[in-house]
Amino acid sequence: MKDFLNSWGISLMVFLPLVGALAMLVVPKAKEQFHKVVALAASLVVGFIGILLMTNFDYDASGRLQFVVDMAWIPIINSRYIVGIDGISLPMIALTLLIVPLCIIYSWNRFPEPKNPKAFLILILILETGMLGSFVAQDLILFFVFFEVVLLPMYFMIGVWGGEKRQYASLKFFLYTLFGSALMIVAFLALYFLSDKVSVDGQMMHSFDVRLLPELATGISTGAALWIFGGMFIGFGIKVPMFPFHTWLPDAHTQAPTVGSVILAAVLLKLGTYGFIRIAIPILPGAAEKWAPFIGLLAVIGIIYGALCCLAQTDMKRLIAFSSVSHMGFVMLGIATLTTFGFQAAIFGMVAHGLITGMLFFVAGSAKDRYHTLDISRLGGMLKSMPRMGWILGFSVMASLGLPGLAGFWGEFPAILAAYEPGLGLNVAFFRVLMVIAAIGTVLSAAYLLWMYQRVGFGVPSKEFEEDPHLHDVTFSEWLAWTPILILIVVLGFVPNIIFKVTDGAVSRTISIVNGLGG
Amino acid sequence: MLAQLLTFAWTAPSLDYHALAPEIIVAATIVVLILVDVFTGERSRWASSSIAGIGLLLALIPIATLAYDGVDRAMFGGGFVVDNYALVLKALFLVAGYVVILLSTNYIAEGDYHEGEYYTLLLSSVLGMVVMASARDLISIFIALELVSIPAYMLAAWRKRDQNSNEAGLKYYLMGVFASAILLYGMSLIFGITGSTLLVDIGAELGSYVSSQPIITLGIAFVLIGFAFKVSAVPFHQWAPDTYEGAPTPVTSFLAVASKAAGFVAILNVLFIGFYGRHDVWEPLMWALAALSMTVGNLIALRQTNVVRMLAYSGIAQAGYILAPLAVAGATLGTGSEALRSIVVYLLIYAGMNLGAFAVVLAVARKTRSGEIKSFGGLFSYAPALTVCMTIFLFSLAGIPPAAGWFAKLSIFSSLASAGTASGYVLAVIVGLNSVIAFGYYGRLIRVMWMDEAPDGDRTPIKVPASLSFALIITVAVTLVWGVFPGALTHFTDHITLFSLLR
């Protein structure tokens, strides 16, 4: 078993969704039941393989890449098929494996217009392959390919199944990300050519191997490293999204179908932050140190700016989208401190934000199905008309604003605390100022979330929805999709160590690289 | 007396028939085509396309044996060389020609055109390309180029009752001969200085100067500008959109892929063998041509409403990408061979994805009788398979994995970055920005197909004829397999090199 997982586990997990998609491709679209069952089965089997991998994962050595497969892929440029899991990627993979089947269950009987479950589910499965692949890839080119593969299904999901301005939103999403990845690939290649060579089958070649590059890249001059880091910064920063690059996000979120929003918020945004932690910072720690104050500054601007934008929103989904900008700001602040504590907070924040914001988008989507609008001023009295849904919304809002005892808390507060004592060589006073501003951001986030909840949840239903027969409470498929997330939010809130323990080893290793070489 | 004179002045060159076999087979097929057309009646006209297709496939056999043999062969004093580089490109031209025949079969048969003549001319043009891959002498390059072009002029005007087609042919012809004149003038200057038409000798002679002389600069510039017309690089591109739009679509695909590739092969031959030592002259020229072509091509493509015109401008932009590595190719032999490989990789992938895109355009036009982008509306609702194919090709053209285009673009980036110079990185960033602009129009077509309604509500499925389906299968397979396993492609391009790079 262990041997099998070692050599095939990850590849099977990554490519099985594609096998499911291929099977669905050849069956006519009229057989909707078949497509739903196959898609769900595929995602569940993938989840099962994931669980097998996680149970066989050696948690005492979470800093080490496990289940590594290393095979030749494009020999001419020495780009290899290298996949592996360590403590940083494991939580991300778990998050993906959880969210995808839940999304399929959620959409079981409610495919957005123009229906066509076959195409919709095929896209979700391709998306799953792309996301999982990005989190396991340990070769820059392989990572890039998976990173881009994620784009396509999301583009179609927003563009075909989205809201009224879907075409604009999907194109904006695509062009932004494409711009980032174009610069990113140039940065990767510059890194490749400027770093030292390694011996491959007796031949000295450059390498894209993420495991080796921190050492190989030490010889790169500071100036070049700063440029290369800048290219990656734009590529990953757009995906996060960081402050000046965030404008695609509200449009994409507002226009995307519910499931699209959930996946986008829960997993896709994390590709950006994950890229920083996995690739940009460990490989170029010197440049990271120079960039860190700037990143921290943008992160804090994002926190405040996102929160202020939230206060100005009239649409519930758009509000949640801007809250993502704000919350991802905390994650980036944690990363910018370049400390073990900050990184841990960031990874926890990524998972927590994935669960909580995903949950908020689920509720928003369900509310939209019933009210046919998300205009906050027209909603109201959800607790009266749909008490259970109202409570779930309230719960998610509390989690999102960082109430201690729920998952959101452990993402935000450690990140703020980490800024008190930033990593080696960073300006302490500057980061403390950032810390104070970020702390003000948490107050703002409480303000906009509670304000939104008051107007949506409290009060009495407005006239137009008083007798509306569409307003029925949480359905079975919604319970099925939401319960695991709700439980996890509580469990992670009480026992944050579940994640901190997993990430600890890997993060310490990364930070020791940063300090050892970049100090 | 006469016999004596002949034996004195002319010794028969030793012919390596194995090395010449591909050309001989294509030439023989042309003869067979003419004979069949002359001696059989209207009834058996359908045979022409089959004969032409089989002829091209047969010509692939000696290419395989030559590749297996693996020995570089030179003839005619080094003017005609068969090496890995030539073989890869010959295979490209033959397969691309074969796919064009598949695309043409129904179009030409149904349009009541002259089938025998059509395939004869098409094969003549392919013959020119196959020769071009081996040509290492100014004269043989020029002959090959004319053999490629002259049949193409006639093919462009093939719909002779259509004004647009006539305009296409005439414009192509006039610009073509104009370019040839410039090219010849440049060649004569080069010959005047070096005293040889053999590229190797030219290379040695030009490389021996410490810095360029005005007349050398002029000669090199004229030769390259002549070829720039052929590959429709900006600012020498004006003929391309009108010609592409007016010509019959299968011919357009031939011009956009095979004929353009032949132009690039000519550039590679003269640049890497003849002019390599004078990179101080051609590097800036190539930099400007590349940056202009991709930027102007992409910006104008954004505004097109006709699919074929859009693909024409996209082709101009793609020509810019292909030229880009040449802007840094002279720095060292390492970057030179990197650039050469990346261009050949790009040409191979470009052929696959662009022919595929034209195949879909042809298939859709069979129903809609239109090339407007609007006519693709709602394609996903009534022709999902064609939509998925087209989407793959467009993503590939835009350079998004897992379709093969990403690897082509990566090779370009990689060779630009390998030079490690500021101008290389700047050009790489320009390529990157252009990829984003380009998605504006590729993405729009995708959007129209997937997200818009059918313009007239007509949702009858499209019947795709067998030959078109086969062409689609080939191109989709190539685009996806090379995208997922680029190793399958680089396996062929790993070891290519041009003469002077070895020295």
Cα–Cα distance measured from residue A484 to residue A488, given in angstroms and rounded to the nearest whole number: 6
Return the HEC string of A176-229: HHHHHHHHHHHHHHHHHHHCCCEEECCEEECCCECCCHHHHHHHCCHHHHHHHH
Tokens at B496, concatenated: 């290519």
Q: Give the pLDDT mean for B297-320.
A: 92
Whether the predicted pLDDT of A144 surpasses 90:
yes
Confidence of residue B343 (pLDDT cuts 50, 70, 90): very high
Q: Give the pLDDT mean for A259-272.
A: 93
Are the beta carbons of B420 and A194 separated by less than 8 Å?
A: yes
Task: Indicate the length of chain A as a whole number.
Answer: 519
Q: Which of A48-57, B176-185, B459-468 has the lowest mean pLDDT?
A: B459-468
Cα–Cα distance measured from residue A246 to residue A237, given in angstroms and rounded to the nearest whole number: 9
Q: How many structural domains compose chain A?
A: 1
Query: Strand pairing of A198-200 and A203-205?
Result: antiparallel
Cα–Cα distance measured from residue B487 to residue A290, given in angstroms and rounded to the nearest whole number: 38
Report the interhelical angle of B115-134 vs B47-69 (nearest 10°): 10
- SS3 label, residue A406: coil
Question: Which of B425, B439, B450 has its CB closest to that of A159?
Answer: B450
Q: Which residue of A has its CA nearest to B411?
A: A77
Report the interhelical angle of B307-323 vs B422-451 (nearest 10°): 160
For residue A90, give Cα distances in angstroms to A54, A453, B279. 8, 33, 51
Burial A395-425 (b: 16+ CB within 10 A, else e): bbbbbbbbeeebbbbbbbbbbbbbbeebbee
Q: Give the pLDDT mean for B356-366.
A: 91
- Please count the helices (runs of H) and the strands (runs of E) in chain A: 24, 4
Q: What is the pLDDT of residue B207?
A: 84
The domain locations on chain B are 281-503
Contact between residue A172 and residue B440 where contact means Cβ atoms under 8 Å apart: no
Cα–Cα distance measured from residue A291 to residue B64, given in angstroms and rounded to the nearest whole number: 54
Question: Which of A148, A166, A185 has its CB closest to that of B413?
Answer: A185
Whether the predicted pLDDT of B204 surpasses 80:
yes
Query: Strand pairing of B73-75 and A203-205?
Result: unpaired
Cα–Cα distance measured from residue A11 to residue A81, given in angstroms and rounded to the nearest whole number: 10
Q: Which residue is it, tokens 């140190």?
A: A289
pLDDT 10s digits, A241-257: 898 899 999 999 999 99
pLDDT 10s digits, B153-171: 999 988 888 888 888 899 9
pLDDT 10s digits, B210-266: 888 889 999 999 999 999 998 989 888 888 888 998 899 999 999 999 999 999 999
Are the beta carbons of B490 and A76 separated by less than 8 Å?
A: yes
Look up the domain containing A176 and give its range: 2-518
Tokens at A464, concatenated: 């137009």
Q: Which residue is it, tokens 């019959």?
A: B248
User: Which chain B residues have a beta carbon less than 8 Å from that of A77?
Assistant: 414
Confidence of residue A214 (pLDDT cuts 50, 70, 90): confident
Q: Please report, as a single letter, which amino acid is at residue B334.
A: G
Confidence of residue A297 (pLDDT cuts 50, 70, 90): very high
ipTM over 0.85? The verdict is no
Cα–Cα distance measured from residue A50 to residue A46, given in angstroms and rounded to the nearest whole number: 6
For residue B168, give Cα distances in angstroms to A338, B117, B175, B242, B263. 62, 19, 11, 6, 19
- Residue B78 zone, left/alpha/beta (φ > 0; ψ -120 to 50; rest): left
Q: Give the pLDDT mean for B108-114.
A: 77
Question: Which of B433, B450, B490 has its CB closest to that of A74?
Answer: B490
Confidence of residue B8 (pLDDT cuts 50, 70, 90): low
pLDDT 10s digits, B412-451: 988 998 888 888 889 999 998 998 899 889 988 998 888 8
Q: Give the pLDDT mean for A278-307.
A: 92
- SS3 label, residue B329: coil
pLDDT 10s digits, A391-404: 999 999 999 988 88
C-alpha closest to that of B394 among B386, A268, A23, B342: B386
Task: Indicate the length of chain B as a whole number.
Answer: 503
Whether the predicted pLDDT of B501 surpasses 70:
no
Cα–Cα distance measured from residue B327 to residue A500, given in angstroms and rounded to the nearest whole number: 51
Element (H, E) at A137: none
Interface residues from chain A to B (CB-CB < 8 Å): 72-77, 119, 141, 144-145, 148-149, 151-152, 155-156, 159-160, 166-167, 170-171, 174-175, 178-179, 182-183, 185-186, 189-190, 192-194
Whether the predicted pLDDT of B80 surpasses 70:
yes
Q: Which residue of B has its CA nearest to A227?
A: B425
- SS3 label, residue B197: coil
Tokens at A197, concatenated: 């060579």
Mean pLDDT across chain A: 90
For residue B360, give every residue at least 6 positions away whose Cβ sits within 8 Å of its Cβ, in sequence order, or none. B386, B389, B390, B393, B472
Contact between residue A200 and residue A261 where contact means Cβ atoms under 8 Å apart: no
Q: Which residue is it, tokens 């170029």?
A: A284
Q: What is the pLDDT of residue A131?
A: 94
pLDDT 10s digits, A490-518: 999 999 998 999 998 899 888 888 887 54
Q: What is the pLDDT of residue B499?
A: 60
Contact between residue B13 and residue B60 where contact means Cβ atoms under 8 Å apart: no
- What are the DSSP calls for A296-363, one per residue? HHHHHHHHHHHHHHHHT--BHHHHHHHHHHHHHHHHHHHHHTTSHHHHHHHHHHHHHHHHHHHHHHHH
Confidence of residue B473 (pLDDT cuts 50, 70, 90): very high
A34 vs B114 pLDDT, higher one: A34
- What are the DSSP calls for B468-492, one per residue? HHHHHHHHHHHHHHHHH-THHHHHH
User: Which chain A residues have a beta carbon less than 8 Å from that of B417?
Assistant: 186, 189-190, 192-193
Whether the predicted pLDDT of A477 surpasses 60:
yes
Question: Which of A170, A178, A189 has its CB closest to that of B417?
Answer: A189
Whether the predicted pLDDT of A489 surpasses 70:
yes
Q: Give the pLDDT mean for A39-48.
A: 94
pLDDT 10s digits, A380-394: 888 888 889 999 999
- Chain B 386-415, residues with CB within 8 Å of chain A CB atoms: 395, 398, 400-402, 406-407, 410, 413-414
Q: What is the pLDDT of residue A518?
A: 43
Cα–Cα distance measured from residue B255 to residue B240, given in angstroms and rounded to the nearest whole number: 9
Cα–Cα distance measured from residue B498 to residue B503, given in angstroms and rounded to the nearest whole number: 10
Peptide bond into B486 cis (omega under 30): no
Calculate how close chain B gets to A185, using CA atoms only, in Å: 8
User: Which chain B residues have a beta carbon less than 8 Å from that of A149?
Assistant: 401-402
For residue A55, give every residue at least 6 positions away whose Cβ sits within 8 Å of its Cβ, in sequence order, or none. none
Q: What is the pLDDT of residue B430?
A: 92
User: What residues form DSSP beta bridges with A81?
Assistant: A71
Report the greatest alpha carbon distance in chain B.
81
pLDDT 10s digits, A348-383: 999 999 999 999 999 999 998 888 888 888 888 888
A175 vs A2 pLDDT, higher one: A175
Tokens at A349, concatenated: 């924040």
Burial B247-258 (b: 16+ CB within 10 A, else e): bbbbbbbbbbbb
User: What residues form DSSP beta bridges with A139?
Assistant: A209
| A–B interface: beta-carbon pairs under 8 A | 90
Contact between residue B349 and residue B407 where contact means Cβ atoms under 8 Å apart: yes
Q: What is the pLDDT of residue B2?
A: 63
Contact between residue A251 and residue A165 where contact means Cβ atoms under 8 Å apart: yes
